Amino acid sequence: MPIKSKKAAGNATIGLVTAILEGYAAKAVFRGFSAHPHTNGKATYRMVWHYDRSFELLLDVPKKTLRFPAVLPGVPPRSPMYRELQAFLKARQSEELPEHRRVNPAKARLTLANQRGAVSLKLTMKDADFRYATRKMIHVVHEIFMVFLVDGPYFEYMVEQLGLDPDRY
């Protein structure tokens, strides 16, 4: 592909992802949202979301990735919580879940990393279906906060690390 058309394709993809995220913001899924396109098919998005925390989402079109570099703070790398989160994400890619709730492993792969207790989540596409990937990434993060944390034994974690008011829960 010529350089100019790669650049145009990257810009079009950034526009598509931005429009999807703006749609979530318009529906009040996020309480704040901003887009920061860069060069070379990369963009950074910032949103205020769960527990009024600021989240950063990084798009890398050439690498076909979306990444939240700090989706959960204060999770020790070898902790039971981190292992349970890994299992939870693996289950999000299982055929046992309905198609609308899972990430199809033939289309994308979810991976976790933990640097000094900050958990990052990355979705790597096997194709270039950025529409699918963006929606799935938002849904997975939402499920981490609304299913994994709430249904698990993580009340103290949510109070200590996310600022949950224990008197309002």
Longest dimension (CA), the chain: 59
β-partners of residue 112 are: 121
Q: Residue 3: what pLDDT? A: 47
Sign of CA dihedral 89, 93, 94, 96: positive
SS3 label, residue 18 = helix
Residue 138 belongs to some domain of the structure: yes
Per the structure, how many domains does the chain have?
1
For residue 33, give both structure tokens.
């949202």
Tell me the residue range of the domain where 58 lies: 3-162
Residue 59 belongs to some domain of the structure: yes
DSSP state of 19: H
Residue 100 belongs to some domain of the structure: yes
Q: Which pLDDT tens digits describe the chain residue by residue (169 residues)?
A: 444 566 666 678 999 999 999 999 999 999 999 999 787 899 999 999 999 999 999 999 999 999 999 999 999 999 999 999 999 999 999 999 998 899 999 999 999 999 999 999 999 999 999 999 999 999 999 999 999 999 999 999 999 999 998 887 6
Q: Report pTM.
A: 0.91
Sign of CA dihedral 9, 13, 16, 18: negative
Residue 169 belongs to some domain of the structure: no
Residue 72 belongs to some domain of the structure: yes
Q: How many CB atoms lie within 10 A of CB 47?
A: 22
DSSP state of 148: I
End-to-end CA distance of the chain: 54
Residue 117 belongs to some domain of the structure: yes
Residue 125 belongs to some domain of the structure: yes
Q: Residue 40: what pLDDT? A: 86
Strands (E), the chain: 32-37, 42-48, 54-60, 65-72, 108-115, 118-125
Residue 168 belongs to some domain of the structure: no
